[in-house]
Structure 1
């Protein structure tokens, strides 16, 4: 025989344990999961307390009233539980008010139905008092909504258990202890509730679930004291892994064994100019350039080229296999490191090395040959002077290139285009007074990288120097649109050789394919370092056109 007084004492003890756990959790705020765990325990305390009031009531109406009030605690528990599980395990992006609001729709309806129970039979079709083993209990025939809220509660319970189960195999002992205590403390009351709804509990009509929450309280107290629940939790660990993956500078793409993309970080989204939600599930070869070549050589690395932000970029791709616990390959991670600057520097130094060895050797041999003729022929002196001047020009251009390379990683200084054109024209005119240089400048003040002054000066100088006409003519113009400045230099000379343009586009020289000197490389590299591009076209009826397309910034009264 069960005494009502003893049952009330047990319920009071259950409520006391729940209150203690909730208070301890509340004091741990703002640790992940602390608030939701406090709400979870508050729901349990509410349920146990009003069940005790129900057993103290002497009339059917009073017992029905207290039974209906208990529903507030009953429906709070599953929502708070899943919120706690997601916060505790680091999945707090799902613990937002809009999501909590959606999850609370069915519980809110249930509370409304409980408070208006006398006017419908959705929760219960009939209520009566029965005596079972000396205990008077409120027996209620369930209505249709009871099964809706029951199934919904169990679904939320399972949803919260799933991420916690993943911690059972954690290498961290506190996390294993916490997860086991949480699983034990939650499974027992859910199981008790299921058995009650199936009608297999010892006392028909009496739901012992609130009493089983005493075990929950003890288990959670053990997790708080023994395993530092909330003091040490896995939330940062889970978030850190995702943060490292998303924020890493290298581009990363995760592919399954069927070559479908299952994840990629933000850098990869930018690299491939796509959105994660769009490409997930897509075939990797449709997104990643040279994908088949990459995976064919998983132990090596492959360089791939792609357009990024309108600029050609070079990436070194590597493949890292992913293995499961049974040593089965289940996919791989593709990582891409931007080596554009490194490759360009290597190409520049190779070109410089070759040009210095070739051009300086050639000029030196010519000087030596002319020196031998000096005693016999007077014109050899002029030739020696010209070759010495050529060597001096090579040195000047080499210094300009070295200065550009140093600027490659430094913040750029901006100058007005009008001043750049004016100074460049003046410099070339003073050196070649027979040349006629026409120029037109932007109507609005606009600024470009100061590197463009050296580049433009070389473009104009090349146009004049390589023009055999006694009075070379050059036309310089500039216009600005859509945040870009286009500076065009046209001449009436013989134009550039096709092989020289091809060499510039390839980015390197060889004995069979090379340019006529450092000037063209200075133009190309200087423009690229300034963030722009250079193009070479033929001019009708003769000559060539060089176009510099570089980023611009609007100036205001000369200030940047």
Structure 2
């Protein structure tokens, strides 16, 4: 029996063990860094088996070929292990750099240089096969630069271990055991390589690294198989820390692909009522009040009990990826409790006030109308006419508020309509005592038709009010005070006047034109009135009303909000009248109908 046969058996065992580990980890091949680790295992398995075979080959030519292969595989183990450590800890972008891509060619370079060494002698000289304990060992003298390069290879593998140890220092208990196991696993084979490289041991002709792969494999198996190291990888946390600022005022939680907490900032600790150390690896749902939480990708708001108070938060979820792989998500929580309560209060107040306003003003108008019919006093009748008009204005104001809530608060979709028909209907909805000229091309457009119609009605009403020369027209005011966009809501004064026919007369007091341009439609509504008051436009430009600067109604606000809903632009030109220019995009260019 060969005295050194145990080395052959141990090397073969290392190869078999490595292949077994490779098979167990194959399912993780899409995880960050996994493909590099698997490549290093492939090199490790090939080296273990090929070295076991080489120890039984005394033919110098074949032994030389196997020695070259061993050096190339050793280089591959080093560069692939460092690539794994970088990618696994969230530094995968470094592997994509040109310098590291060049480093990845080291195994191929080793094959070329060592394979051609018998001709140029640049790497070693005096290669020979030496019998040691019945095995075929090798003896040769490495050139100094080759020793330096080989030492660099050892340092590359050592750097990979240091990167993993950095994970221990940076991320605490979550990855501590796994990272220590993998980092320490490289120590036995690297020690054997150093002893062999510098001929420190008693048998420099033999390399015991393949034997010491056995504890290396055991530690890797513990980390990756038993402890699921690829299930919890620090790349998720590192990428999350890049996206989330620790001192951000809003709560930020980083979760992995299974919605387990990887890290969270101080604001999130306060909101969820948990310290970071206790929250790590726990499901995010465990700290939420919602029992039906389906994950941040499927849920847009959640409720949390904080200090005995229930708060509602909206979720803004950003996927975390590395090299195209989904690692998890960064979840930002925005407290919307006050916003929801404010919306509820406004809805209640709006409906109650509008309902009471309509009912009470209907009663007021009825009494005023009855009193007007019962009196013969002209002066009293005029006063009662004013009361009736004001009552109509307030009822119309309530109807306008209802129209705003109904149109802007609903979830509407674009439909294909004929532009000329839509604008014709909008003009028909306006009770006017002046001619309205229209010039609209026969095109079809795809747009939110209901919103566009209400918007055009508001603008035409405004033009009629400001452009009218009728004695019925009073001081320039927002048209909403005098007419609703609802076709069924008209005042008695308006009903008393006939709706004029549309005309193409360019001298008409109100003119409606439309053109198709720039991927959308421009509608211009012009009048010959005194022009919109400057303070009305200032309020719209400021986007808010104050005690000193406020509009006199809702019509222009409706026009502004509806324009935003359409994604368009609305401008007013005041010069010898007012021209409202509305442009809005359409999903398709206007086409002849």
**TM-score of the aligned structures, taking structure 2 as reference length:** 0.65
Give the secondary structure class of the aligned counterpart of 2:454. Answer: helix
2:561 counterpart of 1:502: no
Tell me, what secondary structure is at the counterpart of 1:125? strand
2:554 corresponds to 1:518: yes
SS of the counterpart of 2:26? Answer: coil
Contact 1:71 1:110 in 2 (8 A): yes
2:13 match: 16
- State the match for 2:167 in structure 1: 166
Deviation at 1:444, TM superposition (A): 4.8
User: Superposition pairs for residues 132-143 of structure 1, below 5 Å?
Assistant: 137-143=137-143
- Contact between 2:443 and 2:592, CA under 8 Å: does it hold in 1? no
Aligned match of 1:543: 577
1:394 is aligned to 397
8 A Cα contact 2:415 2:446, kept in partner: no
| SS of aligned partner of 2:516 | strand
Distance 1:556 1:474 in 2: 25
Cα 1:376/1:506, change in 2 over 3 Å = farther
The Cα shift of 1:403 comes to 0.8
Contact 2:56 / 2:135 at 8 angstroms: preserved in 1? no
What is the DSSP-based 3-state SS (H/G/I as helix, E as strand, rest coil) of the residue aligned with 2:463?
helix
| Unaligned runs of at least 5 residues, structure 1 | 247-251, 257-264, 266-315, 317-332
Contact 1:494 1:543 in 2 (8 A): yes
Is 1:154 the counterpart of 2:151 in the alignment?
Answer: no
Paired positions, count: 466
**TM-aligned CA distance change 1:440 to 1:347, over 3 Å:** farther
Residue 64 of structure 1 deviates from its aligned partner by 2.9
Q: For 1:119-130, what aligned pairs fall within 5 Å after superposition? A: 119-128=119-128
Distance 1:347-1:151 versus aligned 2 partners, 3 A rule: farther
Contact 1:117/1:123 (8 A) holds in 2: yes
Match of 1:30 in 2: 27
Tell me if structure 1 keeps the 8 A contact 2:515–2:523.
Answer: yes
Q: 2:523 aligns with which of 473, 484, 487?
A: 487
Query: Displacement, 1:123?
Result: 1.9
Counterpart of 1:295?
none
Cα root mean square deviation, aligned: 4.6
Gap change, CA 1:160 and 1:30, over 3 Å in 2: farther
Contact kept in structure 1, 2:368 and 2:387, CA below 8 Å: no
CA distance in structure 2 between the aligned counterparts of 1:498 and 1:364, rounded to whole angstroms: 36
Q: Is this contact kept in 2: 1:41–1:77, CA < 8 A?
A: yes
Residue number in structure 2 paired with 1:406: 409
Give the stretch that moved more between structures: 136-145 or 373-382: 373-382
Of residues 363, 370, 386 in structure 2, which corresponds to 1:383?
Answer: 386
Q: How do 1:147-546 residues align onto structure 2 when only pairs under 5 Å count?
A: 147-159=148-160, 161-163=162-164, 165-167=166-168, 175-223=175-223, 227-229=226-228, 233-235=231-233, 238-239=235-236, 242=239, 375=375, 377-378=377-378, 379-380=381-382, 381-407=384-410, 409-413=411-415, 415-428=417-430, 431-432=431-432, 434-442=433-441, 444-450=443-449, 451-470=451-470, 473-539=509-575, 542-546=576-580
TM-score of the two chains, using structure 1 as the length reference: 0.68
* Cα distance in structure 2, aligned partners of 1:160 and 1:416: 70
CA gap 1:459/1:509 in 2 versus in 1, 3 angstroms: same
How far has the Cα of 1:351 moved from its partner? 12
Q: Is the 8 A contact 1:459 1:489 kept in 2?
A: yes
SS in 2 for 1:46: helix
Q: What is the CA distance between 1:494 and its match in structure 2?
A: 1.1
User: Given the superposition, is the C-alpha separation of residues 52 and 346 from structure 1 closer, same or farther in structure 2, using an over 3 Å criterion?
Assistant: closer
Please give the secondary structure, in 1, of the residue aligned with 2:27.
coil
Task: Describe the superposition over 1:447-478 as per-residue Cα deviations: whole angstroms up to 9, x where unpaired.
Answer: 33220111111111111123351396112222
